[in-house]
């Protein structure tokens, strides 16, 4: 049986140190998702693979924005996943 993890309002992330995917930085998804222009966000790092981003989170660099279930955030992990309260579909592409 699972437990409920409360969603986070995107506004709560505006001043937090964020670690985002390089793809998110290159398209318009990030400002749309968080409701703020990218240059007004506190982006402290980026990743190509979420595993790299998860290592940055474990080292205390910031909070990674990512899709759920890509890295282990279960009971035995130091990480947790919190969904955003405002959910939007974001297009993904493969190069």
- Three-class SS string for the chain? CCCCCCCECHHHHCCCCEEEEHHHHHCCHHHHHHCCCHHHCCEEEEECCHHHHHHHHHCCCCEECCCCCCCCCCCCCCCCCCCECCCCCCCCCCC
Which of the four pLDDT bands, split at 50, 70 and 90, describes residue 31?
confident
The residue ranges of every structural domain in the chain are: 11-64
Residues 93, 44: Cα–Cα separation, whole Å: 24
Which of the four pLDDT bands, split at 50, 70 and 90, describes residue 1?
very low
What pLDDT does residue 77 have?
87
Q: Which residues contact 12 (CB under 8 A, 6 or more apart)?
A: none
Q: Are strands 43-47 and 18-21 parallel, antiparallel or unpaired?
A: parallel
- Which has more confidence, 29 or 44? 44
């Amino acid at each position: 049986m699972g437990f409920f993890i409360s969603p986070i309002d995107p506004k709560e992330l505006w001043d937090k140190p964020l670690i985002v995917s390089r793809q998110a930085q290159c398209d318009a998804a990030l400002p749309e998702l968080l409701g703020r222009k990218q240059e007004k966000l506190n982006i402290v790092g980026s990743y190509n693979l979420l595993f790299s981003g998860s290592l940055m989170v474990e080292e205390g660099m910031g909070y990674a924005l990512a899709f759920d279930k890509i890295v282990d955030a279960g009971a035995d992990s130091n990480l947790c996943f919190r969904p955003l309260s405002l959910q939007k579909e974001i297009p993904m592409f493969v190069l």
